[in-house]
Chains A and B, each alone.
Chain A
Amino acid sequence: MTSTPSTAGHSDERPVRLDVSGLKKTYTTKKGDVPVIDDLTFDLRQGEIACIVGPSGTGKTTLLKCLAGLQPITSGQATIDGHVIDGPPEELALVFQEYTRSLMPWLSVERNVELPLRHLSLSAEERRQRAASSLEAVGMAEAASKYPWQLSGGMQQRVAIARAVAYRPGVLIMDEPFASVDAQTRFELEDLCLRIREQFDMTILVVTHDIDESVYLSNRVIVLGQRPAKVTDVIPIDFDGPRDQLTTRALPRFAQLRSEIFELIRKAG
């Protein structure tokens, strides 16, 4: 995507972390090939949050699985920091929608966060440090010795985010991360997401079906069209200053962007 907005500040000069170009994904079935993603191209720069929105069934989850190296890409390619993705990339972490199933119930919160760090070449002390600081960052430091099932849904998702952050990924991908928590928790987690981006200069790609969420969170909203998915449009989000659940959402510009995206999705569907 060359139409990166200049309004997003300095992000134009920052290095590209995730680069997707001409990505195609086709499922082979008995009845023939079913294209799910068709010629998808976009990129993500350092410190940027982008949201992918689109009608349900457009293959958003398939796209994430391709980017996470969990499913092979049919043609085209995706790179993270220049490395072609052909298996789960080292530089990538994923936060799943089903928080109840993505944490290990037999491990304490702390050990859940530490598990992916074990095979990195870190000393035990560094590993503990990293786990502790990311739990701190998501506001779960006191729950370190608890078990996931002792926590509410929103807290479990915080732990899952802490685990991803502790991994220090080049790109953090989230698959409808706040879809199954209540509205209040959702707002808190969205702000947490923005805070994490600030604190760790994280590059984040969020898949969501919530248009408001996409406008609130991102620097860019990537609108996917109907199956097979292709980029319908990329909408730069240009709010000045830090975002706030109350004031940002009350801006006329917010409503304008929301209806713009809504229109695009409706046309695409």
Chain B
Amino acid sequence: MTTIQKPLRSRTRQARRQRAARSPRWLLIGAEVGLPVILIAAWWFASAGSTNIFFPPLQTILARLWQLTQTSEFLIDIGSSLGNLVASFVIACLLGVLLGLALGTSRFLSWLLEPVIHFFRAIPPVALVPIFVSLLGFENETRILSITVAALFPVLISTIDGVRANDETLDMVSRVYRLTWSERLFEVVLPAAAPRILSGMQVGLIAAFVVMIASEMLGSSTGLGAKTLLAQQTFTIADMWAGILLLGIFGYLATFLFELFRRRVLRWYIAAQQQERQL
């Protein structure tokens, strides 16, 4: 037993040495928080005395943003935008994984459907919005459909890839130990494909965010995108900046929350990769 444990111990010693050689944690966190702070400060001071109507002082923008958040109409806009984003993203993830599993495991289905999928994937999702508007009108369903379609393809394609890349040995293990259909799906196939699936979801989330804004800018009167465009067209420039700023914040938060989710789901994967790097 002792002879087996020895290499492990030296591995961790080596790991500690490597960890010490890397930048300390506080410096990394400091840089992550510090850079945005510096950028905001630069914006604040550079714009402080601005008389340029298109480039109002940051102070004015923030004051306007604060004012806006006090109005119920603005809160409804935010709710509508984020509601659409979350609902569509969740639908896209579920649909993408389900379809991806089917296409990844069935040779016939993938042979049948893959050319179509790659055709639609090649069209930028924003370009599809006008089609949906002309087909479905200006209702909220149009926006949900647009966002869902945008987020669907990255999830779908990464799921197909993930399922196909499944290791042959694990497949034999599942067969030899006669795992049931659902055990194979939930304990082997999905976890093995999870790293790729979640990368696809990450890309899907960004696409969804872009299309959320675009779909609101095309013939909608509610939502942050619509309000920001309206402000630009009516020369309420502070409102426009406030909208853009808020969109940036929400975009950041969305990616941040997703990253937390990813780290939770892929704990084993991230830890295993770290281990591998340290060896």
Contacts and interface: CB of A to CB of B under 8 A. Distances in A.
Contact of A149 (B4, B183, B275): B275
B176 A68 contact: yes
Interface residues of B, number: 28
Contacts of B275: 149-150
Given A101-B167, A102-B169, A149-B272, A94 B188 contact: no
Contact of B268 (A93, A98, A105, A151): A105
A188 B3 CA distance: 10
Interface residues of A, number: 33
A147 B268 contact: yes
A115 B179 contact: yes
Contacts, number: 77
Interface string A47-60: 00000000000000
Interface string A147-181: 10111101100000001000100000000000000
Given A105-B269, A106-B269, A116-B178, A154 B167 contact: no
B176 A152 contact: no
A155 B3 CA distance: 11
Contacts of B1: 139
Contact of B176 (A94, A149, A155): A94
A107 interface: yes
Contacts of A150: 275
A70 interface: yes
Interface string A64-98: 00001110000000000000000010101110101
Contacts of A147: 268, 271-272
Nearest to B176: A94
B179 to A, nearest CB: 7
B208 to A, nearest CB: 27
B70 interface: no
Interface in A161-210: 163, 167, 184-185, 188
A88 B178 contact: yes
A96 B272 contact: no
B176 A93 contact: yes
A90 B175 CA distance: 10
Given A118-B183, A119-B179, A152-B8, A104 B188 contact: yes
A100 B191 CA distance: 16
Interface in B145-199: 167, 169-170, 172-173, 175-180, 183, 187-188, 191-192, 194
Nearest to B276: A149
Contacts of A106: 191-192, 194, 268-269
A68 B269 CA distance: 30
Contacts of B178: 88, 90, 116, 119
B115 interface: no
Contact of B179 (A70, A116, A154, A184): A116
Contacts of B175: 69-70, 88
B24 interface: no
A185 B177 contact: no
A107 B187 contact: yes
B187 A185 contact: no
A101 to B, nearest CB: 4
A179 B3 CA distance: 18
B7 interface: yes
Contacts of B7: 152
Contacts of B272: 105, 147, 149
Given A106-B191, A149-B272, A149-B275, A101 B170 contact: yes
A107 B178 CA distance: 18
Contact of A88 (B176, B192, B271): B176
Nearest to B195: A106
Nearest to B273: A149
B177 A104 contact: no
Contact of B183 (A70, A90, A94, A115): A115
Interface of A: 68-70, 88, 90, 92-94, 96, 98, 101-102, 104-107, 115-116, 118-119, 139, 147, 149-152, 154-155, 163, 167, 184-185, 188
12 contacts: A68-B172, A68-B176, A70-B176, A88-B175, A96-B169, A102-B170, A104-B188, A115-B187, A116-B179, A139-B1, A151-B8, A152-B8
Given A68-B172, A115-B183, A149-B272, 10 more contacts: A70-B176, A88-B176, A88-B177, A96-B173, A102-B170, A102-B173, A115-B179, A147-B268, A163-B177, A188-B3
